[in-house]
Amino acid sequence: MNITPIQIWKDGQLEVAEIFNLRSIHDDLATNAQFSYELRTQGTASSDGLTPAGKLLVTGELSIAGQDYQDWGTDLDVNQWIYDWAANKLGITILYL
């Protein structure tokens, strides 16, 4: 997902993150789930589709449970809902182009 650019200090240089990736790493299908996220610079993905676009700047994990988990499961677009939820938790803004 494209995001409003964020300046990040990485390895002694100021970099700009513009890509937000989110991946499910665990879901018990009842009460909670965990996600891995990345913030990356703009770039071109590899032609084989295996290497993501841009330079990796930040990685982390988010957990969802309780009412948030229940709300996620009832939304018509669960993918969009979880991206919006994660972006809100991280204080970033997704650009819907």
Task: Give pLDDT tens digits for 17-60.
Answer: 999 999 999 999 999 999 999 999 998 776 776 677 789 999 99
Q: Which DSSP helix (H) or strand (E) runs through 80? A: helix 78-90
Residues found in the chain? 97
3-state helix, strand, coil in the chain (%, to 5): 25, 45, 30
For residue 64, is it left (φ>0), alpha (ψ between -120 and 50) or beta? Answer: beta
pTM for the predicted model, two decimal places? 0.88
Q: Hey, what amino acid is at 80?
A: Q
Question: Which of 6, 34, 35, 36 is closest to 19 using CA atoms?
Answer: 6
